[in-house]
Structure 1
Amino acid sequence: MRLLIIKLTSMGDVLFTLSCIADIKARLPDSQIDWVVDEEFAGLVRFHGGIDRVIALPLRRLSRDRKISDRVRDIAAVIKGFFKIRGQRYDLLIDMQGVIKSAVVSWFAKSGQRWTYTAPHLESPGLARWYTNFWEPARDLPAVFQYRVFAGVALGYTPDLNQTQFEFKKEPALVSAAIGTQNAGPGSTALLVPFSSKEAKQLDNQGMSVIVTTLRTRGYKIALVAGSEAERQRGLEIASLSNYEVEMIYRPIEHFDAFRNRLADFGICIGVDTGITHVSAAFGVPTIGIFSISAMQTYGPHHWAPHARSLHADDPQLIAAITEMVTQLPTAPSLADSSNTGWHTDRPLP
């Protein structure tokens, strides 16, 4: 069976959708799966062992204000991607995005079974005419489970929601100059993700400086993710407030392969509801997810990762709760202890 999955954006949602691949391969081991994704997040999909072909389209980049020559190049890349889709016959197609862009992608695909969400859950109800089969989202389920159930309904099986497996590829870490390692050892660094494209999700600098200080007293180096110059400046302010050196990991989504190869360095991740936080949890890093405007019940990593916890950002005791969790973790592994292979891969948070 040849399947086409369409999930274009964003990183967290693409990650959640990848959880259904292990289910599909367990029930249909001979199935071949193609995946259409925005070029910005293609690195994550390519690293999954169950995807046979990744078709990356520069749709986000195409919508930005850029030089005419760049836009022409992007349009050509999109057209080339459409020809790839059109050149294959699919037994079944699942559009898990449900927006106009994904509907256009699905229109180019040859398939007799074309699944998406019911009309009220599409970006425009009129898009439903481009599909043959529909699934009513189970809003009471966490997002990861929703995607797994959707795939199961389309393919005729019931997933076991008691465990979630992402089954990313296993390969030696690659050396990359895109992100410096600062001689970090396995599990010796704490990854902080305090910023988001949505201002309401972000954590305040003073609270983050307290977390940095607590982590440093436990022996952890500090790495902080920044996705823009403004976030990088805020990261420097956090470092100044805590009076500790902080490594800045700048725009990791653009350098995903390099960031992925750093994951073994991280003994803990503390972050807001954003893609990098969820990716860290999926790769086995003990993770504390912090949620504000988004629903913890839907997106909290604690639902599917036994080594993750989720907290409310508006809890007045948030910083105290985080510092208590941190103090219950082991001290950071000694950088000189090369035998330590990263306790964080199988150790749950307290």
Structure 2
Amino acid sequence: MTKRILIVRTSSLGDLVHMLPAVSDIAAHVPDASIDWVVEEGFAEIPSWHPAVHEVIPVAHRRWRKHWWSADTRAERAALRRKLGEREYDMVLDMQALMKSVWLVRQARGPRHGLDLRSAREPLASFFYDVKHKVKFWQPAVTRQRELAAAALGYTYEGEPDFGLESITDGVEIEPYSVIMPSASRDDKLWPEEDWQRVFAHLNKHGLELRLLSGNPAETARAHALVAGNARAHVLPRMSLTEVARVLAGARIMVGLDSGLTHLSAGLGRPTIGIYKASTPVRTPLEGPAYTASLGERGNAPSAETVLSAIEQALDFDDTAHADLAGGNLAN
């Protein structure tokens, strides 16, 4: 009998990537599960990549809050309420544990599961769940999500996280370029220009083109300034998340600040170096099937030498992995 599950996890980009292995676990342990996922409209592509997700239900909270009481916003909120209420779920699972996610959970029909008072980021949220689960707070985000899903659905997961991103990675060939994410939403996350220049020169020395990502006009201007005069570098145009994911999937290596796209690169199985300066990697380290390095911590950015050393290890890992794969193909 089909078990209908509604997942509420609306944002942000990195948090949604961290959620994907829990969806893979559910699909593996509850083979009759039909999973719907409520997500912020700007990130709706992410759950659509996972083959176990039946329906993606977009919410526009970020846009609505600017004009909460306008006629258009009220109409869209009413449509979402009808959408959430039209199906009876066997479980409504809040994977965010915030008051903004509780607002959505309360509109859905079915037993409400979430984190308990001591586990939730916003403890007040726990009072609105029918069933509450304890998950240790100071763990990597991927682990927390996997543990909450396992506790709610009554199974024990094992093995390395499976991000379920074959729809992006299948058929993609690795090409001689690196992807760089040098910008962030906050200035205190930025890394010195002279350190980036050393990284760029090192990657170029390895025969790798530089492809820089940016999210808004200010970030685009910063990216152009960083690679001015470098004939083997260019700033990518604005793309959809799926298009960006495919660029990441084909890269030899990715080096970026702590951002959602850096976490996506790791989840896609590409060697990825994350530079942490205003946050700690204890709860949000890079995780994925290839080489990853989460360097630095809040108030203590990694040195250029540390990043260059990690790049060498990442490229060596990738060379070894490709050699092993080629050897396996020859053996067959």
TM-score, with length taken from structure 2? 0.86
The answer to whether the 8 Å contact 1:267/1:344 transfers is no
Report the CA distance between 1:271 and its aligned residue: 1.1
- How far does the alpha carbon of each residue in 1:165-209 deviate from its partner, in whole angstroms, 9 at most, with x for none? 0112436889xxxxxxxxx97322101112211222221222111
Instruction: Give the one of 159, 162, 165 matched to 2:162.
Output: 165
Aligned to 1:103: 102
Report the CA distance between 1:245 and its aligned residue: 4.3
Report the CA distance between 1:18 and its aligned residue: 1.5
- How far does the alpha carbon of each residue in 1:61-106 deviate from its partner, in whole angstroms, 9 at most, with x for none? 223479x9xx644543333222111101011111111222211111
The answer to whether the 8 Å contact 2:291/2:314 transfers is no
Letter in 1 for 2:76: A
The residue correspondences of 1:327-346 to structure 2 (distance < 5 A) are: 327=312, 343=322
- How far does the alpha carbon of each residue in 1:18-55 deviate from its partner, in whole angstroms, 9 at most, with x for none? 21011111111111011000001111111111100110
What is the distance in 2 between the residues matched to 1:343 and 1:76?
Answer: 53
Instruction: Give the one of 234, 253, 259 matched to 1:247.
Output: 234
CA 268–124 in structure 1, closer or farther in 2 if over 3 Å, else same:
closer
State whether structure 2 residue 139 is matched by structure 1 residue 148: no
Aligned to 2:184: 196
What is the distance in 1 between the residues matched to 2:215 and 2:13?
Answer: 13
What secondary structure is seen at the aligned counterpart in 2 of 1:101?
helix
State whether structure 2 residue 283 is matched by structure 1 residue 285: no
Aligned to 1:262: 247
Aligned to 2:82: 83
The answer to whether the 8 Å contact 1:5/1:93 transfers is yes
Letter in 1 for 2:260: G
What is the distance in 1 between the residues matched to 2:324 and 2:90?
Answer: 37
The answer to whether the 8 Å contact 1:226/1:235 transfers is yes
CA 140–186 in structure 1, closer or farther in 2 if over 3 Å, else same:
same
What secondary structure is seen at the aligned counterpart in 2 of 1:63?
helix
Report the CA distance between 1:10 and its aligned residue: 0.2
The answer to whether the 8 Å contact 2:271/2:314 transfers is no
The alignment-based identity, stated in percent, is: 25
What is the distance in 2 between the residues matched to 1:29 and 1:185?
Answer: 31
Aligned to 1:53: 55
The residue correspondences of 1:299-318 to structure 2 (distance < 5 A) are: 299-302=284-287, 304-312=288-296, 318=303
Report the CA distance between 1:231 and its aligned residue: 1.2
Letter in 1 for 2:182: P
What is the distance in 2 between the residues matched to 1:296 and 1:32?
Answer: 33
State whether structure 2 residue 174 is matched by structure 1 residue 186: yes
What secondary structure is seen at the aligned counterpart in 2 of 1:108?
coil
Aligned to 1:211: 199
- How far does the alpha carbon of each residue in 1:211-245 deviate from its partner, in whole angstroms, 9 at most, with x for none? 111111111111111112111111112112x7344
What is the distance in 1 between the residues matched to 2:126 and 2:312?
Answer: 52
Segments of structure 1 that go 5 or more residues without pairing to the other structure are 175-183, 334-339
What is the distance in 2 between the residues matched to 1:244 and 1:76?
Answer: 50
- How far does the alpha carbon of each residue in 1:284-310 deviate from its partner, in whole angstroms, 9 at most, with x for none? 1110112223221221115x5442122
Aligned to 1:180: none
CA 17–346 in structure 1, closer or farther in 2 if over 3 Å, else same:
farther
Query: How many pairs align?
Result: 321
Letter in 2 for 1:319: A
Segments of structure 2 that go 5 or more residues without pairing to the other structure are 327-332
Aligned to 2:329: none
